[in-house]
Structure 1
Amino acid sequence: MIREWNGPMRTLLLSALILATTPVLARDTYPPVEVLLQTGKSVIGEPLEYPEGKAQITMAIVTMQPGQKTGWHRHEAPLAAYMLEGEITVDYGDAGTKTYKTGDALVEAFRSPHAGVNSGEDIARILAVFAGAEGVSNTVAEE
């Protein structure tokens, strides 16, 4: 005897099949994600701390000419950076110096004064993303 699947049973079976395949479809269509950096510390080992207040993300591209210097400064908020092109060398005082090149990702020192210079022969471009707060300066010059 052949039983026909009509009515509520057919609807239930089709619904179950659709729901069972939905996560697979979503996983197969979402583009690959390459994690560039995941950390809880800055490049010199400072634990990350977000400033108090209403959260504010600031995204900027910093462009430095060959030989150009930043001067000594510090950040009031964590700064995630990605080297779009070029090369910079940063002096962290007692923590030493580090050179960053195209494709490098980092969380910059934020409470410790530091100074950078474009140490390459070409323009350096850095994507800078500050995880700050309203009314908090992202960068403060040191005297």
Structure 2
Amino acid sequence: MKHFSLWCLVSLIVFTGKLAADDQAYSGQNLLQSGVDVLGQPLVYPEGTPRITSDIITLAPGEAGKPHIHQIPMFAYVLSGSISVDYGEHGVRTFNAGEALLEAQNVVHFGFNPGSEPVSLLVVYIGSEDLPNASLP
């Protein structure tokens, strides 16, 4: 059941969108469709045995994550609150509830909650068994 639920989630993320009426398998709201990350860099799929991981990450007001890097594509959807992400020389960007993004690959960054309420994100790592979802620099 856990694998089926994950398959449904990934299918929803990948295939959700407005399709031509003749091709429409179901209706939905497109959250994101892109081949580049938030910094405009092309996505790079990892070599090796595929592994999809999904998490819900929550940061309390004022909380910050550790600087890290993703060598794999990562989709995120802000469920509630606002999160700011510091990309170093690429600047700081803020994402609010209802926004979707493809996180930066191969760029050290960290997220922090500048608000007065918790922020929660659904994240989906599109990785492989050979690479971690995130690494500390």
- On whether the aligned pair clears a TM of 0.5, the verdict is yes
Which residue among 54, 60, 65 is the counterpart of 1:59?
Answer: 54
Equivalenced residues, count:
117
Do structure 1's residue 92 and structure 2's residue 87 form an aligned pair?
A: yes
Query: Which of structures 1 and 2 has the bigger CA Rg?
Result: 1
- 1:46 corresponding residue in structure 2: 41
Q: Give 3-state SS (helix, strand or coil) of 1:75's partner.
A: coil
How far apart in 2 are the matches of 1:67 and 1:135?
34
Residue type at the aligned position of 1:42 = D
1:10-66 deviation digits (Å, cap 9, x = unpaired): xxxxxxxxxxxxxx8x95xx5421111000110011110011001111011001111
What is residue 114 of structure 1 aligned with on the other side? 109
| TM-superposed deviation, 1:116 | 1.1
Ranges in structure 1 where 5+ consecutive residues have no aligned partner: 1-23
Q: Which amino acid aligns with 2:123?
A: A
**Paired residue secondary structure (2:69):** strand
Aligned to 1:105: 100
Question: Residue 44 of structure 1 aligns to which amino acid in structure 2?
Answer: L
Higher strand share: 1
Question: Among the aligned pairs, what percent are the same residue?
Answer: 40
Report the TM-score, using the length of structure 2 for normalisation. Answer: 0.80
Instruction: Give the TM-score normalised by structure 1.
Output: 0.77
Residue 96 (structure 1) shift: 1.0
Within 5 Å, give how 1:1-143 maps onto structure 2: 31-142=26-137
Residue of structure 1 in register with 2:3 after alignment: none
Query: Which consecutive residues of structure 2, in runs of 5 or more, have no partner in the other structure?
Result: 1-20
**Which secondary structure does the structure 2 equivalent of 1:119 belong to?**
coil
Q: What SS does the aligned partner of 1:94 have?
A: helix
CA distance in 1 between counterparts of 2:109 and 2:45 reads 19
- 4+ aligned runs moved over 3 Å, structure 1: none
Secondary structure at the aligned position of 2:55 is classed as: strand
